[in-house]
Chain A
Amino acid sequence: MNSAIVFRHLWGSKMTDDNGKRVDVWQGTLALMVLKTLEAMGSQHGFGLARRIEQISGHRLSLNPGTLYPTLLKLEQEGYIASEWGTSDNNRRARFYHLTRAGRRQVEREERAWQDATDIVARFLAPKAAR
């Protein structure tokens, strides 16, 4: 697994930072965030996931359901996560997602790839910043 995987998909959608400024984000990042969050939290529904990701980002990210749910579907199709119906805090039927064994391996791979990628990019940025 190499960092090229992470760079392969450009994400068509946007996220906002807390200043309301829109930035393009690599697609791999949201998938990684979802996987990582599920690894930490165990089973969780979409709303909880979104809230948790926003929280961890220090509220610099606001997650649009229009990007979250397709990503969840895609991860499920790829077999990294699985889901079943459960009951949410307010007693509504909600879909709960959890990591599969393949998902756990994928988290490791993605993490490593992401580290690689940021390392490489950092090498380009560092001398520039020093100048």
Chain B
Amino acid sequence: MRRVRAFGLRIAAMFGAGRTDAEIREELETHRSLLAGEYERSGLTPEAARHRAAVELGNMSSISDTCRDQRGIPAIETAIRNVRFAGRQLLKSPAFTLVAIVGLALGIGANVAVFSVVNSVFLQPLPYRESDRLVRLASTNQENNLIRVGFSYSRFLEVQQRQQVFSDLALCASSAFTLTGRGDPEQVFGLRASAALLPTLGLQPIIGRNFSPEEDRPGGPRVVLISQQMWQRRFNRDGSVLGQALILDDAPYAIIGVLPEAATAFPLNQLQIWVPRPTEAAYLQALQGGGYYFKVIARLKPGVSLEQAREAMKVIAAGYRAAHSGNLDAPSTIELMPLLDDTVGARRQSYLLLFGAVGCVLLIACANIANLLLARFSGRRRDIATRFALGASRGDVVCQLVSESMLLAVLGAVVGVLLAEWALSAVVALGADLIPRVAEIRLNATALGFAVIATLVTGVLIGLLPALQVSGVNVLDALKDGGRGAIGSGRRLRASLLIFEVALSLVLLIAAGLLLTSLVRLQRVDPGFAPEGVFTAQIALPRHYSRDRLIGFYEQFHRRLGTLPGASSVALTDGVPLTGAQGRTVVAVAGRPLSPLSERATATRHLVSPRYFGTLRIPLRAGRDFDDRDNTRVPHVVIINETFARRHFPGENPIGRTLVTGMVQLPAQVVGVVADIRGENLNTLPEPEYFLPVLQRPESRTNVLVRSQLPPAAVATLVREALRTFDPALPLLQPDALTTRIAQTLANRKLALMLLSAFAALALVLASLGVYSVMAHLVAFRTNEIGVRMALGESPGGVMRMVLGQARRLTLVGIGSGIAGAFVVSRLMQQALFEVDPVDPLVYVGLSITLLLVAEAASFFPARRATRIDPVVALRTE
């Protein structure tokens, strides 16, 4: 206890509490005068007495030092003294301090921000109970290029009956609903989930209850769980919300509970509602034929490893294959993925790339500031030598210098963390639709811990090398030559730092350059249709519409759209090219042996109205387009694309042949062939596709396409009016120009590229600053030499060439190392590249030259200063 109290007082003493230095000195002074008085009384003269007392007391300041050590805690007091000294030094040169702090703040801030994203999205466990035990079950069929797609209902039942490795198993499917009766009709995204899903995830409703077994059974009551956000926004967090009704697709659903936030972030999107009975989302054919319709989540039993579960699934898949050989998914395997990997795995690489890039920026900033510090410390060589002469150890000196760099790092980090906080809120706002788990992104304790470590490492990195460099000084030499010649030592360190900076920034530039080239090439790809001038919007028709009403809608609404002012061509389609996943299904040619569904070829199916091809300007290669007569009263027809024709009718005329289409296996006669387009993705080649007239196969989801001279907002108003005359409860969703919608699908690539380019640009600026400061110091160091050269008749041009040449040599070495580094890095990022060779010479050479020119420009100013050296002045200072 006593010791704790004493320690507390010692700490307090460091902050000025307790005895002051002056008091201790006064006490010693009294001691001395009392001693002198004693000697005087024993017969000495006052002077002799005073002298004797002083001798006996010895070095008074050393005594008060000992007292000071007892009073406080020496190591900490030294540290505080060092920091105070460092603070005074930094205040003396505010310009340097500001530059260094801004540089470090940008570097550390960017790192903390990117780390926060990586940490929140990829490292933190999902917000479910023991989330590492959760897996998703998916189907994979390599031959058909179906990787980790959904799960069929029949296979789910098979797994449910036979598995012994999962403690929970849940089924779900996402689904959109039209919400009416509460203001404007609105589309809400929801999940149809089995009652097992909440317990599987280990979650509970905030208020209310989960789906009951009765509600889970087919034909059970209509109930809904709402999101916390909806509870807040629409019901003001009122507890009486339970039992109220929500009108979804024109049917009342009783609200039975409010979901926790973690449940509505599931799996990626911001879901607003959960309803029971996922099987109601699918058509009966999809339920039985083995369509990849559902998402299956399971929790591993305690003690069961992922590997064991995978083995068990192999057995079940084999059994399923034998029992349901005709099913679409029979040949596919069952894949198990940890839920976290499934949620964010695809993005991991691009974020690691960003993290690497931002780390490089910090390293470059460090190299730069290390360089500046080296110059600063070198200017203090005489002070340092004096301290050595007075008995300071090299450790003391290094500690003092590193205190200065550490103080810079800490100040930079404080500003940097504020910047990161701000940047993160921007990322959350901008990346709402692009980044998985975006709602969970925040600057948490782990990120702050990272910031602290990054700061300490930065502080040591930028200070230690220069401090060691200048403290390894020969005391005599330094004192003798007035601290001037000493500026030049550390030249090798300085040159190495410069080369390092140049190399790293070139690696970043090349990485950004390769991605930029990819994006440019991607945007230059001809999609095969003309999206310019086309307006698009989505319409979700209510499920309760009868087939006749659906057909009526498609007929009347399409006709009505055709009369819109300014519209040159209009169409309806179930899917708009390049704006999302396309539905693939099975297809066969009639008259040939009909193989079971599982072995049938697949193609992308579209439901389109007449004039779809004309509106998008997709050329018709053979046959005819659909027209208004292709309705339910005549035999079904189909149009195929060229790839389909090539694959299924090589060397034959497809017109007039009959296809057996989809899981429903309806026959349709081929009436036309259209040109290929890139509908799925700009970077994937066209797939076989077939088009059915929407009037013959009406479904509830459709999109409007209007080619018009009017701006999208004007068209949206017109289309909305047209829609209202048909059914005032129908919302018009995502109205926009088709080009804008397509651009949005590239947004993810663009976001990553934008960040990477920003980092690369920052690196380039930092590197050019580095070149400037190194060359400026080299010129300062060589002032005498340059003076002599000029006195001996060297022309200013010659001096300039000499300085520029030196800068160029260093830069070229840096560029060489940078190219070597870029070879390695670009191979790692090959996956992210599109039609660009990782060693694309144009990118490498172009950016190397850019960097060389920037370095040249940066070294021009020091070089010009060198030409202005007056030989007389330079030599006189010798």
CB atoms of B27 and A69 under 8 A apart: yes
Closest Cβ of chain B to A91, distance in Å, is 10
* CB contact under 8 A between A66 and B30, given known A47-B35, A77-B10, A90-B37: no
CB atoms of A69 and B63 under 8 A apart: yes
CB atoms of A88 and B30 under 8 A apart: yes
B90 in the interface, Cβ–Cβ < 8 Å?
no
CB atoms of A66 and B70 under 8 A apart: no
How many Cβ-Cβ contacts under 8 Å join chain A to chain B?
A: 70
Contacts of B69 in A (CB 8 A): 70
**A89, B2: Cα distance in complex, Å:** 34
Which of these, B3, B27, B62, contacts A46 with CB under 8 Å? B27
**A64, B31: Cα distance in complex, Å:** 11
Interface string of B21-41 (1 = CB under 8 A from A): 001101111110111010000
Contacts of A77 in B (CB 8 A): 5-6, 9-10, 70-71
* CB contact under 8 A between A69 and B28, given known A74-B6, A78-B6, A79-B2: yes
Interface string of A71-96 (1 = CB under 8 A from B): 00110011100000000111011110
B66 in the interface, Cβ–Cβ < 8 Å?
yes
Q: Which chain A residues numbered 40 to 73 have a C-beta less than 8 Å away from chain B?
A: 45-48, 50, 64-67, 69-70, 73
B19 in the interface, Cβ–Cβ < 8 Å?
yes
CB atoms of A90 and B33 under 8 A apart: yes
Report the nearest B residue to A70, measured CB to CB: B70
Interface size class of B (residues with CB under 8 A): 20 to 34
Q: Which chain B residues numbered 639 to 686 have a C-beta less than 8 Å away from chain A?
A: none
Report the nearest A residue to B23, measured CB to CB: A95
Contacts of A67 in B (CB 8 A): 66
Which of these, B2, B35, B37, B70, contacts A73 with CB under 8 Å? B70
Interface string of A31-46 (1 = CB under 8 A from B): 0000000000000011
Interface string of B359-386 (1 = CB under 8 A from A): 0000000000000000000000000000
Closest Cβ of chain A to B8, distance in Å, is 9
CB atoms of A79 and B30 under 8 A apart: no
**A50, B56: Cα distance in complex, Å:** 13
Contacts of B418 in A (CB 8 A): none
* CB contact under 8 A between A95 and B27, given known A69-B63, A77-B6: yes
CB atoms of B6 and A69 under 8 A apart: no
Report the nearest A residue to B29, measured CB to CB: A92
Interface string of B1-23 (1 = CB under 8 A from A): 01101100110000000010001
CB atoms of B5 and A65 under 8 A apart: no
**A23, B189: Cα distance in complex, Å:** 88
Closest Cβ of chain A to B52, distance in Å, is 14
Contacts of B30 in A (CB 8 A): 45-47, 88, 92-95
**A45, B10: Cα distance in complex, Å:** 22
**A65, B32: Cα distance in complex, Å:** 10
**A110, B381: Cα distance in complex, Å:** 53
B58 in the interface, Cβ–Cβ < 8 Å?
yes
**A93, B31: Cα distance in complex, Å:** 10
Residue from B31, B35, B66 with most neighbouring chain A CB atoms (10 Å) = B31
Closest Cβ of chain B to A103, distance in Å, is 11
Report the nearest A residue to B9, measured CB to CB: A77
**A69, B23: Cα distance in complex, Å:** 12
**A95, B33: Cα distance in complex, Å:** 14
Closest Cβ of chain A to B307, distance in Å, is 58
* CB contact under 8 A between A78 and B28, given known A47-B34, A66-B66, A92-B34: no
A-B contact pairs, 15 of them (CB 8 A): A66-B58, A69-B27, A69-B28, A70-B69, A73-B70, A73-B71, A74-B6, A77-B6, A77-B10, A78-B6, A88-B30, A89-B34, A92-B29, A94-B27, A94-B30
Question: Chain B interface (Cβ within 8 Å of chain A)?
Answer: 2-3, 5-6, 9-10, 19, 23-24, 26-31, 33-35, 37, 57-58, 62-63, 66-67, 69-71
